[in-house]
Chain A
């Protein structure tokens, strides 16, 4: 019994050079493959790209946030069920993260 989720996510890594963007691609790819919709904001050296808006938040079921460095404006997500993961987890075992979302 699969439920399609509406996910928002923010990725950020310490150097902001590459993993931020790779993790965003991986999340988008894996979430869509499972039938979820997802929007990923990146906070890297290119600044804040694809920002999560208030209307994104209001329609989201849950948020995935990385915890390698402090996320900018994290208060936005306080009302949402939030899953915190490391960039490495996203890059190495993205399926586990997405499978875990449907657990109670």
Chain B
């Protein structure tokens, strides 16, 4: 039924040319604003735009204000989930937008040209990687989100954004390679399961039972496929959720601990500090809205 055509053969040469010839120049971070324009693009997943050629004109929330920006070749715009942008296609530009969905990574290569016509002209190639960000890709996107929240992007942002593009480019190659092993699929399915089920009561044993394998087999699967133990992975998922709750909700620390599967607030505090070097309060003070 799915005749959706993946245009990697159209998109990849442009990515390769960009990665070989250009170093990322600057990363713009779109920020949340209380209001946004009526036609703004606002979705539940984060997006990143790489300007491959020409100039990309758009409006974003930038340092809290609605701001028209012109991103030149080599510049990058990161738009966290639930943050908006409003591109103006009346410009000569080739840009690659990468969408980080929950279960897929999408690519849209847009080529717009200035044109007398009111609507301009735009040609598009789309392609989908049918798995979410994993391994280094997963962490690189997290870093960009953290940088976006902190609004203190340094030069590191450029390297991270470039790394993320390289990661995605490699993934497109993997799609042409033979299918990945059954164990890898199983590991992937379990990590997806954990990203939704991380609350109290989730343990190595319950997850092993859910997937009908032994707890030891589960541990081996994580070590071999993910390079990260089961408990370490689960803790990362939980800490990640804690960060989100701390920065975006006014929930009490005790509630957060319960919801994210930590046995109490003081235990959460110790684990959080070990992972982030900050206390819960410090994190909320720095990143809270």
Contact B41 A16 (CB under 8 A): no
B42 touches A16 (CB 8 A): no
**Which one of A41-49, A78-86, A94-102 is at the B interface?**
A41-49
Interface bits A17-28 vs B (CB < 8 Å: 1, else 0): 111011001000
Task: Tell yes or no: A14 within 8 A of B by CB.
Answer: yes
Residues of A with C-beta under 8 A to B42: 18, 22
* Residue B104 lies at the interface, judged by CB distance under 8 Å to chain A: yes
Query: Do B4 and A18 touch across chains, with their CB atoms under 8 A apart?
Result: no
In contact, A17 and B1 (Cβ under 8 angstroms) = no
Please name all residues of chain B whose beta carbon is closer than 8 Å to the beta carbon of A22 when the two chains form the complex. Answer: 41-43
The contact of A73 among B1, B38, B99, B104, by CB within 8 Å, is: B1
Q: How many angstroms from the CA of A51 to the CA of B104 in the assembled complex?
A: 14
> Which residue of A18, A21, A43 has the most chain B CB atoms within 10 A of its CB atom?
A18
A19 to B108, CA, bound (A): 13
Chain A residue at smallest Cβ distance from B97? A17
B105 contacts which chain A residues (CB < 8 A)? 46
- Inter-subunit contact B128/A73 (CB<8 Å): no
Residue A58 at the chain B interface, CB threshold 8 Å: no
A66 → chain B, closest Cβ, in Å? 15
B106 interface hit (Cβ, 8 Å): yes
Chain B residues closer than 8 Å to A59, beta-carbon distance? none
**Is B90 an interface residue, CB under 8 A from the partner?**
no
User: Which of the residues A25, A48, A91 comes within 8 Å of B2, measured between beta carbons?
Assistant: A48
Q: Quick one: which of A31-56 are within 8 Å of B by CB?
A: 43-49, 51
- Closest Cβ of chain B: how far from A74's Cβ, in Å? 10
Name the contact of B97 in the complex, choosing from A15, A43, A72, A91 (C-beta under 8 A): A15
- Which one of B45, B108, B130 has the highest number of Cβ atoms from chain A below 10 Å of its Cβ? B108
Of A19, A21, A72, which is within 8 A of B3 by CB? A72
A22-B43, A91-B39 are known contacts. Are A45 and B2 too (CB-CB below 8 A)? no
Partner of A15, one of B45, B122, B128: B122
Q: In the complex, which range does the number of interface residues on chain B fall in?
A: 20 to 34
Chain B residues near A46: list those with CB within 8 A: 99, 101, 104-106, 128
Measured CB to CB, the nearest residue on chain A to B122 is: A14
The answer on a CB contact under 8 Å between A44 and B126 is: yes
Docked CA distance A48–B43 (Å): 16
Q: Tell me whether B127 and A45 are in contact (CB under 8 A).
A: yes
Chain A's nearest CB lies how many Å from the CB of B53?
Answer: 17
By the criterion CB–CB under 8 Å, are A48 and B107 in contact?
no
Which chain B residues border A47 with CB–CB below 8 Å? 2, 4, 104, 106, 128, 130
**Contact mask B128-167 → A, CB, 8 Å, 1/0?**
1010000000000000000000000000000000000000
Partner of A51, one of B1, B39, B106, B124: B1
Q: Chain A nearest CB: distance from B100 CB in Å?
A: 9
Q: Closest A residue to B105 by CB, please name it.
A: A46
With both beta carbons as reference points, the residue of chain A lying nearest to B101 in the complex is identified as: A46
- A103 CB to closest chain B CB (Å) equals 27
Chain A CB within 8 A of B47 CB: yes
List 7 A-B pairs, Cβ < 8 Å.
Answer: A16-B126, A21-B43, A44-B108, A46-B101, A46-B128, A48-B4, A72-B2
A→B interface (CB under 8 Å): 14-19, 21-22, 25, 43-49, 51, 72-73, 76, 91-92
Q: A21-B45, A44-B99, A46-B101 are in contact. List 5 more A-B contacts (CB 8 A).
A: A16-B106, A18-B47, A25-B44, A45-B127, A47-B4
